[in-house]
């Protein structure tokens, strides 16, 4: 009997050690990045993994061309522009300073070639030519950029040109840029492939994509570089590893090497210490709820869009999902009507919240059904 306390003590130590071995590794602080502002987030969940000055208004330089591309792709989708259209190069486009595709004045160039010149070569001449084709003038195109920016929910962005040449009224933020990048990838996958193209030859001149990570990291497939003296060196990157896609935005570094190293560090940090899971498919039935005074007695509930969560690696088993439904649901119920919430927690931390919506409509019941339910509700 004298050995029993020692045995219990050793057993307790072993159990504690076992728990420590199986506990998730702690997440270190994000890497120190020498940039005016940065952000790294998951593409699917839209959850931010790390950020610094993400809402500070900064000069985007040629990162602006992501917004220009979004407008151009939207116009193609709307049928007002096609890849085969020929664009006459104006003197203004030809004379635009900065990086160039080397188009020649008064020549006819296809929209497809100009887009490649804008994306791969970062040609300011190509971008202005496209802007003039879409809106008549670059000023008119900037108005379209701001219109689409509002539709995308960009809260701290304003554009006065298509190229990103410096102007005190031309600005955006790391968070807004990430939103543009997400929209490009999600809405225009057929054109997104151009962001991973390493070179483009036009008029006998071959130029190379300035995104160094396209050569360093095979998981990187976009997006855009930018540089002016006042903006510094900027880079927006997207990479996918094992089905998890991250977007990083780095603004205002001191060199090409610095922006590449900072972006790589942020991507590696996100992929190493976090994981993304799809919890619920959009449109699937998650539960049903009682409907009073309706033609049917219940309604199916689900999510409008697929729900993803991004959490520290090894913590999936600790996720807790709950549903909060409206106390009384009375017909009529419209399809898509919000009737509750899905709440995802990790311990005491709220991870995500999403609206539960009606997946089907419920019409008002007969007069007799309404009378019966009214009486039952009285005793609820």
Asked if 207 contacts 65 with a C-beta cutoff of 8 angstroms, the reply is no
Q: Which of 122, 157, 238, 263 is catalytic?
A: 122
User: For residue 260, with 0-12 CB atoms within 10 Å meaning exposed, 13-18 middle and 19 or more buried, which class applies?
Assistant: buried
Rounded to whole angstroms, the Cα distance separating 150 from 158 reads: 10
Which of 126, 72, 60 lies closest to 98 in space, CA to CA? 126
Active site residue 248: no
Tell me the C-alpha to C-alpha distance, in Å, between residue 44 and each of 34, 65, 225, 265: 27, 23, 23, 20
Which of 195, 196, 80, 54 lies closest to 144 in space, CA to CA? 80
Residues 6+ apart with CB under 8 A from 42: 49, 244, 245, 246, 247, 270, 274, 276, 308, 310
Active site residue 298: no
Other C-beta atoms closer than 10 Å to the C-beta of 114 total 28
Residue bearing tokens 């208004």: 57
> Token digits for 41?
């987030």
> Token digits for 260?
């590449």
User: For residue 237, with 0-12 CB atoms within 10 Å meaning exposed, 13-18 middle and 19 or more buried, which class applies?
Assistant: buried
Active site residue 62: yes
Asked if 194 contacts 168 with a C-beta cutoff of 8 angstroms, the reply is no
> Token digits for 315?
């913590």
Residues known to be catalytic: 62, 65, 122
């Amino acid at each position: 009997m004298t050995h029993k306390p020692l045995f219990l003590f050793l057993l307790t130590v072993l159990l504690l050690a076992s728990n420590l071995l199986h506990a998730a590794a702690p997440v270190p602080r994000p890497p120190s990045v020498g940039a005016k502002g940065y952000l790294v987030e998951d593409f699917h969940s839209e959850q931010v993994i790390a950020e610094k000055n993400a809402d500070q208004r900064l000069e985007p330089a040629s990162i602006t061309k992501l917004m220009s591309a979004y407008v151009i792709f939207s116009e193609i989708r709307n049928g007002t522009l096609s890849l085969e259209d020929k664009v006459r190069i104006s003197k203004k486009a030809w004379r635009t300073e900065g990086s160039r595709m080397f188009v020649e004045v008064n020549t006819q160039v296809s929209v497809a070639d100009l887009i490649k010149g804008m994306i791969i070569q970062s040609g300011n001449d190509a971008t202005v030519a496209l802007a003039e084709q879409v809106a008549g003038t670059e000023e008119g195109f900037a108005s379209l950029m701001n219109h689409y920016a509002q539709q995308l929910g960009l809260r701290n962005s304003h554009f006065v040109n298509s190229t990103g040449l410096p102007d005190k009224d031309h600005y955006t933020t790391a968070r807004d840029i990430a939103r543009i990048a997400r929209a490009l990838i999600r809405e225009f996958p057929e054109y997104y492939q151009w962001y991973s193209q390493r070179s483009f030859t036009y008029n006998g001149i071959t130029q190379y994509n300035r995104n160094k990570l396209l050569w360093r990291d095979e998981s990187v497939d976009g997006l855009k570089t930018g540089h002016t003296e006042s903006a510094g060196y900027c880079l927006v990157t997207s990479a996918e590893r094992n089905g998890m896609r991250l977007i990083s935005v780095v603004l205002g570094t001191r060199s090409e090497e610095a922006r590449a190293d900072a972006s790589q560090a942020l991507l590696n940090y996100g992929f190493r210490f976090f994981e993304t899971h799809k919890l619920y498919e959009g449109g699937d039935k998650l539960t049903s709820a009682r409907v009073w005074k309706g033609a049917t007695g219940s309604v199916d509930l689900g999510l409008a869009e697929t729900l993803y969560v991004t959490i520290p690696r090894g913590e999936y088993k600790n996720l807790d999902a709950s549903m909060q439904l409206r106390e009384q649901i009375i017909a009529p119920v419209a399809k898509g009507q919000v009737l509750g919430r899905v709440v995802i927690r990790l311990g005491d931390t709220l991870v995500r919240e999403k609206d539960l919506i009606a997946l089907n409509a419920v019409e008002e019941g007969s007069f007799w059904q309404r009378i019966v339910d009214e009486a039952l509700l009285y005793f609820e």
